[in-house]
Structure 1
Amino acid sequence: MDAQTGIERIWQFTKAIEQAAAVGEWEQAAQLVDARSPLLMSLGAQQPPAVLARIKEILAINGRVAEAAQVAQRALGAEYQASMRATRNVSQYQRVAQF
């Protein structure tokens, strides 16, 4: 597989990762990252300028997806904490209501 074909496959994976992240499908995004990784690792150090430009775009998308993942993780963490507080409150109510 030549560099241009390889980078286009990587680009397709990257766009699919970006789309999965945009709709909160983090498991799918992770699976796509796993599938894309060997392709990225197969790229040699010396690449034509067009491939290097595409790699820069891929890195920018990766950065945005990583940032979105951090935001989602914080939101899920806050939701989890709120659920745990609600559970404790319900348990406390049930203990008090039994008297």
Structure 2
Amino acid sequence: MHNVAPVERIWQLTKDLELAVAVGEWERAAQLADERSPLLMALGAPQPQEVMARLQAIHEIDNRIVEAAQAAQQALGAEYQASMQASRNAGQYLNMARY
């Protein structure tokens, strides 16, 4: 039972991380992940069943966060490419307009 309190702190950080991701606050999400990581690393084995169940739930949330991060990265990459193309198009227009 001595590891229940650290796992509850990890759980709260995970839920805060999940919320940050849900609203697109990626910098905050990274800060929370940095804060949570050493706590996860400090957990020893074996763990009581209730702790293992909570860790499994954290793992499932982490999987969803990774999927959301990948989707956000792809969307931002596509937005960046579209912006770069729009900038090139505007530059071409300006070059043509000068003649």
**Hey, what does 1:14 align to over in structure 2?**
14
Aligned-partner Cα distance in 1 for 2:38–2:70? 24
Partner of 2:39: 39
User: Structure 1 residue 45: deviation in Å?
Assistant: 1.3
Could you give the per-residue CA deviations for residues 54-79 of structure 1, whole angstroms, max 9, x where no partner exists? 00000000000000000000000000
- Cα distance in 2 for partners of 1:70, 1:22 equals 13
**Structure 1 residue runs of 4+, over 3 Å off?**
none
Between the aligned partners of 1:72 and 1:45, the Cα distance in structure 2 is: 34
1:45 aligns to what SS in structure 2? Answer: coil
TM-score normalised to structure 2 length = 0.98
Count how many residue pairs are aligned between Structure 1 and Structure 2. Answer: 99
Matches within 5 A, 1:1-99: 2-99=2-99
Q: TM-score, normalised by structure 1?
A: 0.98
Aligned equivalents of 1:25 and 1:43: distance in 2?
27
Structure 2 gaps, min length 5: none
**What amino acid sits opposite 1:6 in the alignment?**
P
The root-mean-square deviation of aligned C-alpha atoms, in Å, is 1.0
- Runs of 5+ unmatched residues, structure 1: none
